[in-house]
Structure 1
């Protein structure tokens, strides 16, 4: 039993010495270098000692994290980023830099480049850097100013049937308006680079200059014919036939089927108020409702109920007249040929 105790004493003393004097223990470390990654065990104390131990050679601008003087901890990951050569052009100078940044934004931050509100950067800020990427910073300045701008009135011509052909009359005198424009003079790297319109505010709207001009009165019929007319009316139209219920006459009676003008009634004859449309006028009756247009017709008749803007259209049968009923029409008084 005494012999066994004697053997334990050196072991206990050894463990006490390890604890007291800090004999190094193995630590597991992961090293990432670009796309490569490997794991190793080490007893060194600092990152620098580990790099020396593994014979890893760093270029002047390579970046290591944690830093070379940081202490090694078990399970630590050490990242080595190799520097990339890029070009940076800014503030009138161009230089070739070695950088471990991944993006254009990171390059500018590491280079201490402060961007103004309107400065431009090419390529875009989040572009990934590649060897020999050229990054250009353009300093943009804007000088704002205001000016008033006159708005010319629009020239508007309205064609009307109320005037003779080509005759004009003033409807409204035009008046110029006024706008307040905010503009910016732009310089890029100290050189003029044009102007831009920032905003506008209407101080006084322009008033259109309006004239009316007489036009030739032309009607395009439903058949595609072009007809000149001199007057046009919107009227209420009814229909009649030659029988007793429309004229009070029967076949054989004196004047049966004879119009006020002395002509024989027939399709195309209409009754009008002579105070509105003179007897003998040639008309074109255009439907504004459900039926087809009555077409070219002749003002040869009158009627006791036809007064003012009323017109009566002749049909050969009472059933046709009743079917027409009462409708709105547009009546064109055609020019004499």
Structure 2
């Protein structure tokens, strides 16, 4: 005899009729609850047909499981970090249900000297970095780019780039100048003036990538102490033959030569003017320098002139007529001292 029949028999018996009205109400509620629980138990225990779609692969399953989690466990389906299941794992299993598993993508992020393994549902690199709590700076380099698609096995490299302003005191090296002279044997040298390095205050913009300098740009430089160039005298081996005489010289200069005569004044060196006096630009040829001028002969730089600048030279003649005959001409001037 089933429990249903026994319960109905009792319901119509004298025992039920003897219960008070209050007890009858409680009894009815208890019986109704038992019926509901019985129906649910039958539903849970019933075999159900569901489909599990695991990362696009379908698997038909017949099971007595009661929840989505139970159905996955029956098939030994293991979920990893950030895998997503729809419906949720605690959802009651219903026949005809489709259970979708979206597997997270395995990638890695290289940043700040570390490699971080990540499983993610993100579709683009920018979202991946945001999810991982990695914030690129304004100059940082991200490879692949932020808008690139996330692909399995991808390694996203975030290079930290920073530009700093740096000040430093720098050495300014002196240069070496050579000057030929006939006062030394040919080919020998003598330091006439020792060189001395200078210093400058410099401001640089320096770019670093992951702590390593990759670029440097000079913004400004202010000379604190200028360098003093080193002067080296070199024995000249240069010789020119003029009038049957071999003239050893230190330097040959193309110049424009004019002429002048007595003015009633001594030269700027305090010497009375005479043939062989030349007026020069002291910034171009130092005073007291001995010269040989083509077509004129030996001369010494003893005077200056207001219009004598650069490669101009003014040669003294004893008379006005001689000066006029010379006129202005291009000449080769040999510095012999």
For Structure 1 versus Structure 2, the TM-score category normalised by the shorter chain is 0.3 to 0.5
Q: TM-score scaled to structure 1, two decimals? A: 0.36
Q: TM-score scaled to structure 2, two decimals? A: 0.36
Structure with greater proportional helix content: 2
